Amino acid sequence: MLKQRNKAYTTTLANIKMEYKFRTISIFYFITVLLTLILVIGITGMKLVGIMESIPAFLFTISTFIISYLIASKLTFGKAQITLSNKKVEFLWVEKPILTMQKNESVNIEDIESWKYRTEFQYRYFKIYNPSEVITVMRLPNWNPEKDEFENFLFTFKKRIENLNKKRKRRTENLNGNKIKGTKNELIIDREEKHYKSNIGKILFFIYIISGVLGIKYVYNNWNTGNANIGIIIFGILGCLFYISKYRNLGNNK
């Protein structure tokens, strides 16, 4: 009787589905629409009004950016839900943006070949491969993780993959590398971890260091010249510092 209860309890746990709702963005569409609108509105405004004085020009620039941002976000921001069980990962749109390539998808966890979660300077993204991209979630870094459930999903997903890889590793060791028909023994690859352990990751780390040093030197030598591109260089330096810190931290976590 006790064995039956334990079996029923285990079966119930295996069938539990966790639902996670969160915001997402089609980042490349967003950037494209934003820049296009800024150019179109800016050029149109200059043709209609002509050269403006400093204060009207400043207000026009701010208004152009705000309007462009609102339109771009309306077209590319969305809300999604991922349902995670021991067997499947299911992606479902709750509020689908007009501009997106991601469809409602479902993938068996056993069929996942690799996955990736990458933090870029301007955005972050999560991908599941089977072997091509099946599910893609893009996020902005300034989104508060407490306002949605993506971080909870990511944590749980990582644990599921870790447990599945441990199970496959034990199975392979017990069978001395022999395969059982209908089962998979290959480990699910974390592409991000693999990237940072590769020689390419190490080369990029030093490239960012060199670029950051050269950028700082340029700003130091040209600070009082009034060059307009100093702001761009400073932004680039911040990006280099971000990636240097990121590569160093991930390298220490190997």
What's residue 183's pLDDT? Answer: 61
The residue among 92, 126, 156 that closes a domain is 156
pLDDT of residue 115 exceeding 80, the answer is yes
Q: Are residues 61 and 132 in the same domain?
A: yes
- Residue 13: pLDDT band with limits 50, 70, 90: very low
91: in domain:
yes
Q: Average of pLDDT values for 211-223?
A: 72
191: in domain:
no
What's residue 5's pLDDT? Answer: 40
Per-position b or e across 83-109, b if 16+ CB within 10 A of its CB: ebeeeebbbeeeeebebbebeebebeb
Which of 10 and 141 is assigned the larger pLDDT?
Answer: 141
H or E element, residue 39 = helix 27-49
Q: How does pLDDT run across 53-102, given as a tens digit for each residue?
A: 777 778 888 899 999 999 999 999 999 999 998 889 999 999 999 999 99
Q: Are residues 21 and 122 in the same domain?
A: yes
For CA atoms 7, 8, 11, 12, the dihedral sign is: negative
Q: Are residues 209 and 107 in the same domain?
A: no
Domain count, the chain: 2
Q: How does pLDDT run across 17-29, given as a tens digit for each residue?
A: 899 999 999 989 9
What's residue 231's pLDDT? Answer: 65
Domain membership of residue 19 as a residue range: 2-156
The residue among 156, 173, 189 that closes a domain is 156
CA distances from 112 to 20, 160, 171 (A): 19, 12, 18
**Token digits for 85?**
């069980």
What's residue 174's pLDDT? Answer: 75
Residue type, 251: G
For CA atoms 148, 153, 155, 158, the dihedral sign is: negative
pLDDT of residue 8 exceeding 50, the answer is no
CA distances from 48 to 41, 43, 52, 55, 64 (A): 10, 9, 11, 17, 14
Q: Average of pLDDT values for 128-133?
A: 85
